[in-house]
Amino acid sequence: MISTSHCSSQTPPAAMNLPEYFADIGSTSVRRPRGEATISASEAPPEFFVPERARAMLVDDEPINVRIARKYLIEAGFERISECTNPVQAYTDVLEWRPDVLILDIMMPQVSGLEILEQLRNTPATRHLPVIVLTAASDRATRLKALNLGATDFLSKPVDPLELVPRVRNAISLKHYHDHLYNYNRELEEAVNRKTAELELSHREVLHCLARAAEFRDDDTGRHIMRVGRYAAIIAHAMGMEPDYVRMIEQAAQLHDVGKIG
């Protein structure tokens, strides 16, 4: 789908023991409940660069430059292209359309490409968006400034189609590999958090069983164990200790009289 407007956008388990737990965390794959997919650290992401699916955005105040670049991209198989010839609107259009790559002219009136690039890098949603900067071949100072602001690559004017397509392709592949790694790490972190929660539940169950065992021998001892744990937690909280440490104190205090079991 090709957008050709003046400034266009298109919306697009059961508890386990310690050895099992740490062996599971140290493995290269994350175990999931039955029915869920397994993520493997050694599994390579799929082939990402499919021109028909890639979203490219062109920002240049000169319509002729936009038309030329768009023509080259269409010939290379790109179908989802957005254009903006109003630099004031460019930042908003990028946020709305969420392209896979942005081809950005530097020398524009009102708002320069460097200002737009800086805005994008200061916005979490576009911090890792590949930005290919259009600039004069001899403009070394501008290139250095663009690099410091986070430019991904450069294209010299006038645009050479033999350079444009490979650079756009490489930039899109880089973004998709970054997204794949980010999503994998996020799912891995969630899996580790689930395992940690299961281990904490297992610890609580052990303490509960010990208290019940003491209560079986002596009802007063069982209630005493629970009270001591609770009092210790209240004191730790009053002393300003962190919540995780307070919970640990509460659990450990319940074992102070565990010798009565036997």
pLDDT digits (tens, 9 = 90+) for 66-75: 999 999 999 9
On whether both 197 and 91 belong to a single domain, the answer is: no
The count of C-alpha atoms lying within 13 angstroms of the C-alpha of 189, restricted to the half-sphere facing its C-beta, is 6
Among candidates 201, 195, 182, 200, which has minimal Cα distance to 32?
Answer: 195
pLDDT at 222 over 70: no
On whether both 130 and 199 belong to a single domain, the answer is: no
Among candidates 114, 108, 104, 102, which has minimal Cα distance to 142?
Answer: 114
pLDDT value for 220 = 60
On whether both 242 and 177 belong to a single domain, the answer is: no
Which of residues 75 and 221 earns the better pLDDT score? 75
CATH number of the domain enclosing 105:
3.40.50.2300
Instruction: Find the domain containing 143 and state its range.
Output: 47-181
Q: Which of 136, 153, 181 is the last residue of a domain?
A: 181
Helices (H), the chain: 18-26, 63-75, 87-97, 113-121, 140-149, 161-217, 219-238, 243-253
In a domain, 28, yes or no: no
On whether both 53 and 156 belong to a single domain, the answer is: yes
In a domain, 34, yes or no: no
Share of the chain above pLDDT 90, in %: 33
Give the largest CA-CA distance in the chain. 89
Tokens of 141: 């100072």
On whether both 167 and 196 belong to a single domain, the answer is: no
pLDDT value for 260 = 63
Give the count of domains, the chain. Answer: 2
On whether both 191 and 243 belong to a single domain, the answer is: yes
In a domain, 30, yes or no: no
pLDDT value for 211 = 65
Tokens of 198: 């299961």
On whether both 172 and 195 belong to a single domain, the answer is: no
pLDDT value for 102 = 95
pLDDT value for 95 = 94
pLDDT 10s digits, 123-168: 999 999 999 999 876 778 888 899 999 999 999 888 888 999 999 9
pLDDT value for 69 = 93
On whether both 100 and 224 belong to a single domain, the answer is: no
In a domain, 51, yes or no: yes
Tokens of 59: 């920002």
In a domain, 21, yes or no: no
On whether both 115 and 79 belong to a single domain, the answer is: yes
On whether both 91 and 169 belong to a single domain, the answer is: yes
Mean pLDDT of all residues in 201-209:
77
Cis peptide before 51 (omega within 30 of 0): no
On whether both 210 and 253 belong to a single domain, the answer is: yes
Instruction: Give the torsion sign (CA, 221, 223, 225, 227).
Output: negative
Among candidates 106, 151, 96, 97, which has minimal Cα distance to 128?
Answer: 151
On whether both 199 and 88 belong to a single domain, the answer is: no
Q: Which of 181, 208, 238 is the last residue of a domain?
A: 181
Average pLDDT, the chain: 78
Q: Which of 143, 159, 181 is the last residue of a domain?
A: 181
